Structure 1
Amino acid sequence: MAIRILIFILLLSFNFSIGATAEVQLKAAFIRDHQLWMKEGNKETQLTTDRHVSLPKWSKDGQFLAYLAGDENGDNTYLFIYDLKKKENYQPYQIETRNFKWSPISNQLAYTSEGVLNVTKTKNGRPQGFENVSLGVSDFEWFPNGKEFIVSSQSNLLPTGWEPVQLFKVPVDANLDTTKIKPFYIIQTNMTDLFAIDAQYFKWSADGKWVSFLAMPTASWSNDSNTLAVLPSVGDQFQVIGKMLWYENWIKWAPRKNQLAFISGEGRFQVENKNTAVTNIPSIKDRKEYTPKGYVDLDLEWLSPDEIIVARAKENKEWKLGPVPTMFTKLYIINIQSGEQKQLTFPPNYEIDDTPQVIGATITWYRKRDKENQGDVWIKNGVNNLEQQWLTNVDSSPTFFHKK
């Protein structure tokens, strides 16, 4: 009798465990063989069949997926939307773009085309048509309130040198009315301390009180060094944080604190001098770097308010000429309070773990074999659980949907 009761309790615990696990349903858009797919839970669905897709992005409520479709060289990229309710692809307007972003408060989509910032109208409950917002736009980001944009305008080269880089605050309903557009900040530049002709990759802190961005010089120089800077939402107290490459994913705000993590270091080759750094905002005097000597960090993601996941490899200072060597990264966890660091993933030889993402309690990453065009997506439900393969033969890391 006692044995039967024990077996019953074990079965009940097992079923409860399965049920609890099943409640956490990952939902992601991904690209396989250049086509758009979606996976929710254990079900994969192909969403396109005859396009060359890139950059899928979820709307705030998860009803829509915006993406680019172009030719095999990545040119002539037009904006498309997939409606999950109606299960159909459509174009909100036939427009070529490379830069588009969903509103943080609604299913409105903003995008730039040839320097013009536009927003979609709404028709029958979905984004359709467009309205002009502003001319002369280089890059933009929604304010957290969803009512305005922060906008950069690339400077011009004059006989006396480059103009300053100007940032503007633009209402969503500006409709090309320049009287509604207000100066936000002017970045005074020079050729020695801060040379920049543009500002890109705007990102807001968790509380919406600070925005980070890269002040970027001319193209060749930008390959080697850019200036990471921050501004408060009222447009004063400009602060330079450090020098880094132009990878947008190398800049991450903490999930709750005003702390900024980034991968510092100059030089376009990723064989050395790429270090994970964290600084408090607005105080930047306590900046601290965490990458051990002899290593480079080449991607990062916050795991918790006190922990960061990085993709780390051994540096290669011996390389000087020829093809750039592959950096075989593995994932590590850094506790920024204690300084403790431990290895999280153990890829097989000649395989690379990178692009860590954290969705709730789930850690995900992209694993690819050297020289191959596709890889797999792996997940761990918490640091101490076993890893498992979640997607196979995908072109790049997926875009997860999760409500914030």
Structure 2
Amino acid sequence: MKIDDKEEVLTVEKATYPYPPLWSFDGNLLLYQKEVEELVNEHKQTSNQLWVYDMKTKKHSKIFYDGRNPKWSPTENIVAFSDGGVLNVSDFKKFYNIALGVNDYEWQPDGKGFIASSSASLRPDGWTNPVLYTISIANGYQNIGNLTKNATEFFVIPKEVVKDDVKVPSINAESFAYSSDKQWISFFVTPTASWAMDSDMLCVISVDGKEFEVLDEVIWAFTPKWAYSENLLGYIAGGGRIVFGFKNKNLKVTEISTYHSINLTPKNYAEMDFSWVNDSSLIVSRVKESEWSNDAEKRPKASLYFLTLAGQKQLKITTPPKNKGDYKPEYLPSIDKITWLRKSDFVSAKGDLWVADIDGGNANLWIRDIGLYTFSPSE
């Protein structure tokens, strides 16, 4: 952990930490996932342990021996996670089963339940539909005796979702995110695993389930992001994984529910990531369009650009060295700064963390040679 210029080592034993750590809503607790190899019946098995670090007591607590997809409650210090399709909630003393057959989920903004999906199943006559559910824990998560009683069918996703001339079979629904006014939910509809690397559909649905819309073809490697206080959804549109070329990756912003979209990417460029600065401006990581090369030095290197929606002003704000690129921009509202990773290549696991003003001024190297990271909600 680094606060200003002071660094502190939190874990003593070296291990594989496959996902970014997750801060609780109040910034007092930090959840991290540790990959551990164990011998089970003389066979090596890999488990994904869930741990919580308490910032005040400096103590580490293992909350589950092999959990997946953990998410903090938005209103209290409890954690949801999945294990073999079972959705659970932990209060760090015990864990409680909440629902069965869950593929992906997200906490509802009030912390009193979840939006969740079940995957389509393959049967002799074809695939079934993926289904969205709401799951309530309004009466408490500790005493749920019937794991199906609190689940309510919310929306049945069509067996195939279509946008223009692209069709994707609906197998899974994933990566749910609520709009700032909590009235809309964005999510991906994805096909089978290998296909999903190249073509998914970004969709939105109203919280009453009455309005469902397919927005665009995307790939799951790029996360859509809602604006801070307007119903504007930013996303990088275009199918095809990056190893097929640095192309067909356009930053779009769509207003919900008029579904009016604007494309902010100029011709002959492709976007690698972005961050909202406010409801009318963004920072993007951008490269010149290029074919993929197995030689990392020949791949295009990204620079950061500042964009505005009104007038579509576009200003290049970083110029990295020839052998480096600037990726993963993130705006920190509390200090009015942008951060990014400067690294050798888009696919590189590690880089140097930089911080600067939103116009790129006063740029400084903050942390050298880091991989997965996250900022405290107070930063």
- When normalised by structure 1's length, the TM-score is 0.83
Name the amino acid aligned to 1:133.
Answer: I
3-state secondary structure, aligned to 2:149:
helix
* CA distance in 1 between partners of 2:120 and 2:344 (Å): 42
3-state secondary structure, aligned to 1:221:
helix
Name the amino acid aligned to 1:149.
Answer: F
1:251-287 per-residue CA deviation (whole Å, 9 max, x = no partner) reads: 0101110000000001113411000001000111x21
Q: How far apart are 1:372 and its partner, in Å?
A: 6.3
Contact 2:71/2:79, CA 8 A, preserved across alignment:
yes
- Kindly report which structure 2 residues correspond to 1:335-374, keeping only aligned pairs within 5 A, or say none: 335-360=308-333, 361-370=336-345, 374=350
* CA distance in 2 between partners of 1:384 and 1:326 (Å): 24
Contact 2:185/2:206, CA 8 A, preserved across alignment:
yes
Structure 1 pair 181–375 and aligned structure 2 pair: CA distance change class (3 A): same
1:87 alignment counterpart: 58
* CA distance in 1 between partners of 2:328 and 2:348 (Å): 16
3-state secondary structure, aligned to 2:247:
coil
1:100 alignment counterpart: 70
3-state secondary structure, aligned to 1:349:
coil
- Equivalent in 211, 233, 242 of residue 185 of structure 2: 211
- Equivalent in 258, 277, 284 of residue 283 of structure 1: 258
1:306 alignment counterpart: 280
Structure 1 pair 74–267 and aligned structure 2 pair: CA distance change class (3 A): farther
Name the amino acid aligned to 2:356.
Answer: K
- Kindly report which structure 2 residues correspond to 1:137-286, keeping only aligned pairs within 5 A, or say none: 137-172=102-137, 173=141, 174=144, 176-190=146-160, 193-247=167-221, 249-269=222-242, 270-284=245-259, 286=260
1:338-372 per-residue CA deviation (whole Å, 9 max, x = no partner) reads: 11101121111110211111111111111112486
Q: How far apart are 1:323 and its partner, in Å?
A: 6.0
Q: How far apart are 1:217 and its partner, in Å?
A: 0.4
- Equivalent in 20, 43, 57 of residue 55 of structure 1: 20
1:388 alignment counterpart: 364
Contact 1:275/1:296, CA 8 A, preserved across alignment:
yes
Q: Is the counterpart of residue 119 in structure 1 residue 89 in structure 2?
A: yes
1:130-166 per-residue CA deviation (whole Å, 9 max, x = no partner) reads: 1000010110000001001001111101122111110
3-state secondary structure, aligned to 2:50:
strand
3-state secondary structure, aligned to 1:312:
strand
* CA distance in 2 between partners of 1:139 and 1:288 (Å): 30
* CA distance in 2 between partners of 1:234 and 1:115 (Å): 25
* CA distance in 2 between partners of 1:252 and 1:74 (Å): 36
Q: How far apart are 1:322 and its partner, in Å?
A: 5.0
* CA distance in 1 between partners of 2:337 and 2:97 (Å): 40
Contact 1:135/1:176, CA 8 A, preserved across alignment:
no
Name the amino acid aligned to 1:144.
Answer: P
Q: How far apart are 1:243 and its partner, in Å?
A: 0.4
1:25 alignment counterpart: none
Q: Percent identity?
A: 35
**Structure richer in helix, relative to its length:** 1
Name the amino acid aligned to 1:358.
Answer: Y
Contact 1:64/1:83, CA 8 A, preserved across alignment:
yes
Name the amino acid aligned to 2:67.
Answer: T
Contact 1:204/1:212, CA 8 A, preserved across alignment:
yes
2:41 alignment counterpart: none
Contact 1:379/1:387, CA 8 A, preserved across alignment:
yes
* CA distance in 2 between partners of 1:107 and 1:326 (Å): 43
Q: How far apart are 1:196 and its partner, in Å?
A: 1.3
* CA distance in 2 between partners of 1:167 and 1:187 (Å): 7
Q: How far apart are 1:327 and its partner, in Å?
A: 3.4
Contact 1:227/1:243, CA 8 A, preserved across alignment:
yes
1:89-140 per-residue CA deviation (whole Å, 9 max, x = no partner) reads: 1112x3312300000001010000111100013xxxxx32210000101100
Q: Specify every segment of 5 or more residues in structure 1 that has no aligned partner in the other structure, as ranges.
A: 1-37, 122-126
2:351 alignment counterpart: 375
* CA distance in 2 between partners of 1:372 and 1:283 (Å): 39
Q: How far apart are 1:175 and its partner, in Å?
A: 5.0
Contact 1:299/1:311, CA 8 A, preserved across alignment:
yes
Contact 1:60/1:403, CA 8 A, preserved across alignment:
no
* CA distance in 2 between partners of 1:59 and 1:171 (Å): 21
Q: Specify every segment of 5 or more residues in structure 2 that has no aligned partner in the other structure, as ranges.
A: 38-43
RMSD of equivalent CA atoms: 2.1
3-state secondary structure, aligned to 1:399:
coil
